[in-house]
Structure 1
């Protein structure tokens, strides 16, 4: 792979860092606990995912005069162009699109530097195409957990798998993969439970319809709760069930934290703790997810992060001392 000039790459990585800082507060705080030399790669993964998501996640109500098929084709074409640009960057060819080029160059450099399998990025792009209304695999409501898990594999699981080579492990990589996959699903299901109201406004339900139906819940009832500002007891029970499934995934993921390089553990431990506490906030609210967005306060984020930052600093200092 022929790399772009160092100055171009530095600027590309700085852009990815800004994207993470502006749009992913919990994610960015966790990266601050990582060894400095590993942060740019993690920022690049975030920047690439964010850029593709911005291409896909467009407000359709602003384009009512454009036929749905044309809107879908435009978005799929944009994702296809990003994939083609990534192929070019990996082949050492220039990538010139001013909007997506910098993050593509940064992520291509990260892929090359850490030998990250490119099929993870193909899976991610496939799931982003699934998110586009009018495409064959699009689901406004996912029929069951199997269908949702197919989507989450590309939209969340592979993000954790992309990160593993950057973070490093103390065990063979294959042993850590199932735990990283569980953590990716746990993070995304946390978002799905928290963002039910926001997703409904976009015409989506990222929860399995068959499991909701077991509690007497369908999209109509969810919309009623959103419009009335209430939480029907059936909805509360259904979301409680999904919350319990998510907590089981956090439990499956937790042993993998100790498989990471000691210098990477504090950052991922912070993300693990803060994301699971978002779920705690949703539970404590009585699943009032239609009129508010559960967050972890800045004070709490710092309370979690500061002791871990001390541990990370000591681990990094110890590593530097051994190298000396």
Structure 2
């Protein structure tokens, strides 16, 4: 088993390669929290890459014919490596070894990990959300549950349900932003995460969401998802105000950076997918600076959770 220090270094390399925005925000944490965040990120990134047969979100080098695993086999690999890591066994994969070390330091992760893996299971089964609730349940699995893990890593007590719920809300907000930004990329991979019911209302036939003549019909449906993202983000900011200053600054910076994605997609309207929406280094710097001011002086007013938050989503998960 590699040493913890070696796993931290490997995780740092992973986050720098896989997410410039998250890597930038993670620098704002204190050292101990930052290391734990990197270890968690490495596991999430590795699971995502295995599920999609990628390398840090990018296509890997060509492989010999017949050596690529099918989606179910890739899912089984994620489950097996995670189980080994949680059992304290070496996996031969630094990202999973890192998760095993982290789960012994932050016990809540062990309970939430299966919910994250279930998101990969939905993709492996070629699942599509039929309703808004289905879409939000998917967002919980792939991002909201990760938000709960992040809160635990930052020291939020397992008994502090309200703050954990708001951390979940932030993950859901991020994922909704990803969904609206990546409509074209997801369609190219045979996926669509906007609810079927929404597309039916817009008279967009299945499988034709990216056809040019449906762009203007798609814009209002994307605006609905953006409105949901703003609602979840606002709820999450209430929870962020309860964190220590550096943690609060980092989380608010991430909220500003990722929240800008949904706002830019909505602002571009039918041209949102002409070019992939990104944030520049200068924009990131402005978002981090504004988060610093917000973390020092602005505590948002207490507001209710969205109608469908973590408690309701966990009920949907149990019924699924």
Same fold (TM over 0.5): yes
Would the aligned equivalents of 2:144 and 2:171 in 1 still touch at CA under 8 Å? yes
How far apart, in 1, do the equivalents of 2:214 and 2:23 lie? 32
How far apart, in 1, do the equivalents of 2:233 and 2:27 lie? 22
Q: Which position in structure 1 is the counterpart of 2:75? A: 79
Following TM superposition, by how much is the alpha carbon of 1:120 offset from its aligned partner in structure 2, in angstroms?
1.2
Match of 2:259 among 263, 266, 276: 276
Q: Which position in structure 1 is the counterpart of 2:177? A: 190
Secondary structure of 1:282's partner? Answer: helix
Q: Cα distance 1:250–1:153, how it changes in 2: closer, same or farther (>3 A)?
A: same
How far apart, in 2, do the equivalents of 1:289 and 1:18 lie? 31
> Map of 1:101-250 to 2, 5 A cutoff?
101-132=93-124, 135=125, 138-139=126-127, 141-169=128-156, 173-225=160-212, 232-250=215-233
Secondary structure of 1:232's partner? Answer: helix
Secondary structure of 2:140's partner? Answer: helix
Question: TM-score, with normalisation over the residues of structure 2?
Answer: 0.81
Following TM superposition, by how much is the alpha carbon of 1:220 offset from its aligned partner in structure 2, in angstroms?
4.6
Secondary structure of 2:238's partner? Answer: helix
How far apart, in 2, do the equivalents of 1:182 and 1:304 lie? 20
Q: Which position in structure 2 is the counterpart of 1:30? A: 25
Structure 1 segments (4+ residues) deviating >6 Å: 309-313
| Higher relative contact order (CA closer than 8 Å, sequence separation 6+) | 1
Would the aligned equivalents of 1:13 and 1:43 in 2 still touch at CA under 8 Å? yes
Would the aligned equivalents of 1:20 and 1:28 in 2 still touch at CA under 8 Å? yes
Q: Cα distance 1:287–1:17, how it changes in 2: closer, same or farther (>3 A)?
A: farther
Long gaps (5+) in structure 2: 297-320
Following TM superposition, by how much is the alpha carbon of 1:221 offset from its aligned partner in structure 2, in angstroms?
4.2
Would the aligned equivalents of 2:249 and 2:291 in 1 still touch at CA under 8 Å? yes
User: Which 10-residue stretch deviates more, 107-116 or 77-86?
Assistant: 77-86
Long gaps (5+) in structure 1: 314-324
Following TM superposition, by how much is the alpha carbon of 1:170 offset from its aligned partner in structure 2, in angstroms?
8.7
Q: Which position in structure 1 is the counterpart of 2:310? A: none
Would the aligned equivalents of 1:274 and 1:301 in 2 still touch at CA under 8 Å? yes
Between structure 1 and structure 2, the one with the greater Rg is: 1
Q: Which position in structure 2 is the counterpart of 1:255? A: 238
